[in-house]
């Protein structure tokens, strides 16, 4: 395996395939072991009444909720440039986009909407709901998908990190969401014993890790895929230098 390491992709489809393709382009050995699968909610309908805009915090929200959200408003506030791009592709005018929910909140508040439709999934962090409630902005929550845990996935990841996927020196896990970090808690002791590298998309992902795994974590400079892959590139270079030193 490349530099004695295997990269384990834990995000669900369709993002998992994009990440695996990026790893293949780098010539890295990788395993796709999603911790969750995305399941659209049935019978979703927009609440009645007038809305001043729609909040999308993920591409999955756009993918599964844009057709409903468009009945409320074509004005959008988005977390992440990929989310914003997906919203624009579906005909929305993006008033503001920011790299995370906390950064987006002041932009929403500055726009002074009276009532917004929050198109989202579960589980989710409460930042948007709490922040807009404090600003006295009306918010209707519309769940359009759920991230369902994949049975046995955490155990398979721990086994792979421990070497059962083949002979390698180190496993590198890519963690894209706090829910992924939460799902690793039951196998935290096994993972800690395997001593993998845990590369996290954001501080929120790292904060959700079991305390026993925190020392193994690194965090991307920005909460996006490009920054996470840049962090991976740095780690692979470090492993390559370490391997060269050991062979000298």
Residue 244: band (very low, low, confident or very high) from pLDDT cuts 50, 70, 90: low
Return all residues near 23 (Cβ < 8 A) that are at least 6 apart: 7, 9, 30
User: Which domains, from first to last, does the chain contain?
Assistant: 38-148 (3.40.50.10090), 170-243 (no CATH)
Is the pLDDT reported for residue 173 higher than 50?
Answer: yes
Per-residue pLDDT reduced to its tens digit, 54-113:
999 999 999 999 999 999 999 999 999 999 999 999 999 999 999 999 999 999 999 999
> Is residue 2 pLDDT above 50, yes or no?
no
Residue 1: the pLDDT is 42
pLDDT value at residue 163: 72
Q: Would the pTM count as exceeding 0.85? A: yes
Q: Over the stretch 176-217, which tens digit does the pLDDT of each residue have?
A: 999 999 999 999 999 999 999 999 999 999 999 999 999 999
pLDDT in tens, 20-61: 999 999 999 999 999 999 999 999 998 999 999 999 999 999
Output the pLDDT for position 246: 60
Could you give the CA distance from residue 113 to residue 89 in angstroms, rounded to a whole number? 23
């Amino acid at each position: 395996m490349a530099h004695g390491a295997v990269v384990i992709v834990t995000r669900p489809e369709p993002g998992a395939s994009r990440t695996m393709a990026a790893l293949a382009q780098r010539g890295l050995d990788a395993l796709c072991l999603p911790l969750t699968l995305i399941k659209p909610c049935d019978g979703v309908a927009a609440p009645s009444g007038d809305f001043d805009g729609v909040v999308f915090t993920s591409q999955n929200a756009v993918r599964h909720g844009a057709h409903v959200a468009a009945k409320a408003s074509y004005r959008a506030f988005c977390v992440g440039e990929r989310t914003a791009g997906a919203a624009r592709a579906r005909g929305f005018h993006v008033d503001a986009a920011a790299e995370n929910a906390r950064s987006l909140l002041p932009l929403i508040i500055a726009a002074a909407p009276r009532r917004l439709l929050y198109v989202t999934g579960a589980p989710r962090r409460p930042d948007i709901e709490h922040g807009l409630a404090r600003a006295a902005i009306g918010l209707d929550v519309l769940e359009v998908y759920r991230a369902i845990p994949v049975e046995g996935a955490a155990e398979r990841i721990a086994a792979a990190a421990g070497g059962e996927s083949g002979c390698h020196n180190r496993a590198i896990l890519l963690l894209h969401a706090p829910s992924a970090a939460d799902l690793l808690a039951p196998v935290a002791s096994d993972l800690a014993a395997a001593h993998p590298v845990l590369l996290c998309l954001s501080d929120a992902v790292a904060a959700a890790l079991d305390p026993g795994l925190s020392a193994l974590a690194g965090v991307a400079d920005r909460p996006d895929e490009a920054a996470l892959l840049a962090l991976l590139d740095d780690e692979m270079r470090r492993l390559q230098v370490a391997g060269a030193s050991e062979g000298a």
